[in-house]
Structure 1
Amino acid sequence: MKAVMIREFGDPRGLAVVDLPVPVPAPGEALITTEAVGVAGADVLIRSGALAAYGFREGHIPGGEIAGTVTAVGDGVDPAWVGQRVWAFTGTGGGYAEQAVAPIGEVLSLPAGLSAVDAVTLGSSGVVAHFGLAHAHFSPGETVLVRGAAGSIGIMAVQLAISGGASAVAVTTSSTERGRRLRSLGATHVLDRSGAGGPDDPTGYDVIIDVVAGPDMPAFLDRLNPNGRLVAVGAVGGQPPADFGTRLMAAFQKSMSFATFSAATVTAAAQQAVRTEQFAAVDRGELHTVVHEVLPLEQAVVAHQKMDGGEVFGRIVLLNSPFH
């Protein structure tokens, strides 16, 4: 089969199409012929070499989120899965390929009306947004700021905060056009990347969902209301300064909180329950996916170049089409 491998860390051109044996599903696994593969921020970080300290090496096949058809199963898996259209989480990689394996507990049947492209646009990002808001103890009537709202996680966080009863949902973004699109998805206030807005924008927030982190994160801690909570659900902007906690201590009497959230701390069963409902909500038109662009799997380099450019709105999806 064809797959896309990280030949060399760094530039997207370090990705290369290679021939590999078709993986064999181990006990408890399903083999899936991919139709669509989501391009995630984590894929970009792995490809850049930024996560080498976590065990990722050159030769890695990126891609943790796929949709397609189950073509074989390992021991202990119900054969009735074969032939089903599914979404699946492959783990730390393996998805940028014509076929991939996934633990059966991370495989979910797709509603008949849900496309593979929509499935990989929503499958992981919707769960992170849902549990990120829960981790922040978000309640109806509170004000929410989504930092880095143009990505798939941020787009879902905006919609879920609005449907959850937020009194206001502000977003940070880089352009007027992005702001317009985020307003169409429910955002009530649009700020620039620094968090600056106009006189009618909130001056403080009860909850901040931060996809970016990076060197500017401490300034957003300053935007929390008393008892406010900032939850970092990503770090596409890199690590915050080592001393960012001094901002919390300096505002001791405001009782503000900082936390990180990773979906790895939520059981697969709990994630699948939320994902099932969100897939159904998209099918009903109550939740909206945003796809920036669909490219052939062989153009993974182009997808990563666009991600590095920082102008992707929503998610780029790779399609398993015939390689040339």
Structure 2
Amino acid sequence: MKAVAIQRFGAPEGLAVIDLPEPRPAQGQVLVCVEAAGVGGLDALAVRGDLAGYGLREGHVPGSEVAGTVAAVGQGVDASWVGRRVWALTGRGGGYAEQALAAEEEVVPLPPGLSAAGAVTLGGSGAVAHFGLARAGLAPGASVLVRGASGSIGIAAVQLAARAGAASVAVTASSAERGARLRELGATSVLDRSGAGEGPTGFDAVVDVVAGPDLPSFLARLNPNGRLVAVGIVGGMPPTDFGSALISGFLKSVSYASLSLDTVPAAERGRVAAGQFADAVRGELRTVVHEEMPLEQAVRAHTAMAAGEVFGRVVLRP
């Protein structure tokens, strides 16, 4: 089968189309004929070589979530999955391919009316946004900041915070055009990447997709009892001494937390994804697809992400 693998860590040009044997589902697994693979932040980190702690090696196939039709199941898996359209998390990768394997507990049926591209745009990102906002203590009337709101996680977080009754939903965005699009999705004010602009000066909850060197300045803008939750590191690692910003805010009882879907039970992830898929079909959540590209254009997809050109999610189609 056709797949895209990392031949050389670093730049997107290290990706290449290769031929691999067709995978066979092991016990507890399903085999998905891929209609769409999401291109996400985890995949970008893998391509850059920033996931050394995960044991990734050259030859790794990125792609942590896919949507398509179940073609086969392994031992112990309900055979009724075969022929059903599903969304699935594939673990550390394997989705940039014509076929991908996933554990049965990571598979969620797709409702009629939701496209494969919409599923991989909302599925993992919507779950991250949901659990990130919960960990940040989102409550009606809160002031919320979504930092790095132009990606699929941020777009989901903006919509979820707005419909949960947040008093204000500020976002950081790199351009006025992006800010206008985020306002259409529920943002009430737009700041630049540094946090400057018209809007609240303090926040009860911050969902941060970026991290990077500016993280301490956003910790400093937390209100008393405010919490910043890091759900991504697309801007790189924060300064090694960023904890000093927390100590500086000691009298305000501010806190920092991180959120990885790896720590959320699969059943909970699936429940949230299924609910959000139903919301999307009803028009209560929007899935923003930046562009659908052939699998062979994975280099172009990652180049666009690295250049900050993507609003929403790029989707690869085998």
Q: For residue 259 of structure 1, what is the amino acid of its counterpart?
A: A
Aligned match of 2:38: 38
- TM-score of the pair, normalised by structure 2: 0.99
Q: Secondary structure at the match of 2:180?
A: helix
Q: Secondary structure at the match of 1:197?
A: coil
Q: Aligned runs of 1:182-261 on 2, under 5 Å?
A: 182-198=182-198, 201-261=199-259
Q: Offset at 1:52?
A: 1.9
Q: Offset at 1:54?
A: 2.7
Q: Aligned runs of 1:18-37 on 2, under 5 Å?
A: 18-37=18-37
Q: For residue 58 of structure 1, what is the amino acid of its counterpart?
A: E
Structure 2 residue aligned with 1:302, among 297, 300, 303?
300
Q: For residue 306 of structure 2, what is the amino acid of its counterpart?
A: D
Aligned match of 2:316: 318
Q: Secondary structure at the match of 1:124?
A: helix
Aligned match of 1:109: 109
Matches of 2:53 and 2:75, distance apart in 1: 34
Aligned match of 1:139: 139
Q: Secondary structure at the match of 2:296?
A: helix
Q: Secondary structure at the match of 1:67?
A: strand
The percent of aligned pairs where both chains have the same amino acid is 66
Matches of 2:246 and 2:74, distance apart in 1: 50
Q: Secondary structure at the match of 2:262?
A: helix
Matches of 1:143 and 1:39, distance apart in 2: 30
Q: Offset at 1:135?
A: 0.7
Aligned match of 1:263: 261
- TM-score of the pair, normalised by structure 1: 0.97
Aligned match of 1:280: 278
Q: Secondary structure at the match of 2:112?
A: coil
Aligned match of 1:292: 290
Q: Secondary structure at the match of 2:50?
A: coil
Aligned match of 2:154: 154
Matches of 1:11 and 1:143, distance apart in 2: 38
Q: Offset at 1:10?
A: 0.9
Q: Which runs of 5+ in 1 are unaligned?
A: none
Matches of 1:59 and 1:98, distance apart in 2: 16
Structure 1 segments (4+ residues) deviating >6 Å? none
Aligned match of 1:52: 52
Matches of 2:249 and 2:8, distance apart in 1: 45
